[in-house]
Structure 1
């Protein structure tokens, strides 16, 4: 009789399945592996194996994690890891049934996004005039993120050809390869003009790299600007004016200021590239909070 495969070997094959067949990122695979090693240790300490996996065993493991102080997001990630594993084990014949669909993840308490007020946004964008190529890039990055509300990964993927100066728009490829066209304000366009005329040539060098020849934003070595460097650009630009925010904070700010200015929710949904209005509704909470604050300060019978 063939000895059962050790759990470590199963996890190794499962990691290959996640990477090769499902296309999960290395970060996701590492997170799942860490969670599932914890599950295996828990099972082993109680005399169980992977073949014993069922809903009560998993729920007991998750309950102990909550008692030990694990956050809702951590438990939700563990549920996702176990669901992926049990689906794989069922397919491989290790489990007779798949208990994964009966595992419910905890509901997430979505925090309200941190946004700059309009005065802070003006401070961030109207500071000292940029001079060096890196300063010109940082200024253009911050202007474009705030003007369009695009994600930082979407910004890094932009090409020069995506910018349409005749219509003052930019073509954005969002999540799920969904394309949308977003309007761009004149201050952001001016910052992009300064970057492309005086900043980009200095980083591209005399020839430039063929893999990034059409990229709108370039990094220090002439390649396409990476997400990590774009985030650092935002932090560095805002630190210079004593503000602290992140690229996603500029996206939140753009959405909130649009709603505060009278834009309807459907338009903001399209502006942000949200597939569902539920993702956009969180910004109405921000606007309502500000309305409540103004009401309490101004209404005589608040």
Structure 2
């Protein structure tokens, strides 16, 4: 009998080396698999190759009873289906008990975004007289101007930014790199930050690296650090709403479509492998049109 922990660690290495998944995605996969192992213990299932289709249905029922969303359940089942597919490839199990499991239909959740005037209020709230303020302005301009994922933004190095072409190289999911253009306002903010603040912040912590965005100690900025920055920023701007990194990505896509960009171009800018992932933003623009119509038409 193959050791379960060994199988999991080999699978994690497979995700790292062959699939090139991010650390965050791998951590989620590990957590989902470990939770399923707890379920196996509760059901007295001693080995991975002894899990049957009926067990998978019981597992889904237990997830539902814990009030997990359909989205979360679908993610967990997809993870376990992929795990067993790997185990079959390695001849550790003979069948995939999750292969025939139908995923619960996801509820459609429209992405939350900021209106253009709200974005202006956020920019106006940033104090450009401080080194951290210059950093914050460059950070928000970069996220909003490019629609990059926060993990992509944190991984941008100095050499990835081309100021003559006004593009930045984003290292996307699955080693899918793409060049994204940015505008004059983002360029000005980046040059101001690089020319006046980045070196000072790095000198405080005696740091030496090539990452573009740094924290107050000069070390590379992390996604958690970006969330902290945006939380403080929104409190200064209006204080009665939320701002999280992905909301800037949502705002980027929504504003492009609202102003006439075609969906294929937005798909490429966002780094979506399928246009279906981008189409959710067309629903947002339709909702906006309906809101304008209902507020403006005398017989709406």
Smaller-chain TM-score range?
Answer: 0.7 to 0.9
How far residue 256 of structure 1 moved from its aligned partner, in angstroms, is 0.6
Matched, 1:39 2:32: no
Report how many residues are paired.
291
Contact 1:141 1:233 in 2 (8 A): no
Q: Secondary structure at the match of 2:120?
A: helix
How far residue 199 of structure 1 moved from its aligned partner, in angstroms, is 0.9
Matched, 1:18 2:14: no
How far residue 37 of structure 1 moved from its aligned partner, in angstroms, is 2.7
1:65-107 CA-to-partner distances (Å, cap 9, x unmatched) read 3244232133223323432453455466664433232222223
1:134-184 CA-to-partner distances (Å, cap 9, x unmatched) read 221112111111111111111111122222222222222222222222221
Equivalent residue number for residue 180 of structure 2: 182
Residues of 1 paired with 2:106 and 2:131: CA distance? 42
Equivalent residue number for residue 241 of structure 1: 237
Contact 2:154 2:220 in 1 (8 A): yes
**Larger C-alpha radius of gyration, 1 or 2?**
1
How far residue 187 of structure 1 moved from its aligned partner, in angstroms, is 1.5
Residues of 2 paired with 1:19 and 1:300: CA distance? 59
1:181-236 CA-to-partner distances (Å, cap 9, x unmatched) read 222122211111111111101112189534x1x22112233232222212222222
Q: How does 1:119-138 map to 2 (within 5 A)?
A: 119-138=117-136
Residues of 2 paired with 1:28 and 1:279: CA distance? 21
Among 250, 258, 261, the residue aligned to 2:259: 261
Contact 1:170 1:181 in 2 (8 A): yes
How far residue 267 of structure 1 moved from its aligned partner, in angstroms, is 1.4
Matched, 1:194 2:187: no
Q: Secondary structure at the match of 2:103?
A: coil
Equivalent residue number for residue 297 of structure 1: 295
Residues of 2 paired with 1:179 and 1:89: CA distance? 30
Q: How does 1:151-170 map to 2 (within 5 A)?
A: 151-170=149-168
Q: TM-score scaled by structure 1?
A: 0.86
Q: Secondary structure at the match of 1:61?
A: helix
Matched, 1:224 2:225: no
How far residue 125 of structure 1 moved from its aligned partner, in angstroms, is 1.0
Among 95, 98, 101, the residue aligned to 2:96: 98
Unaligned runs of 5+ in 1: none
Residues of 2 paired with 1:38 and 1:30: CA distance? 13
RMSD after superposition: 2.5
Q: How does 1:133-152 map to 2 (within 5 A)?
A: 133-152=131-150
Q: TM-score scaled by structure 2?
A: 0.86
Greater displacement, 259-268 / 233-242:
233-242
Contact 1:55 1:99 in 2 (8 A): yes
Residues of 1 paired with 2:90 and 2:141: CA distance? 51
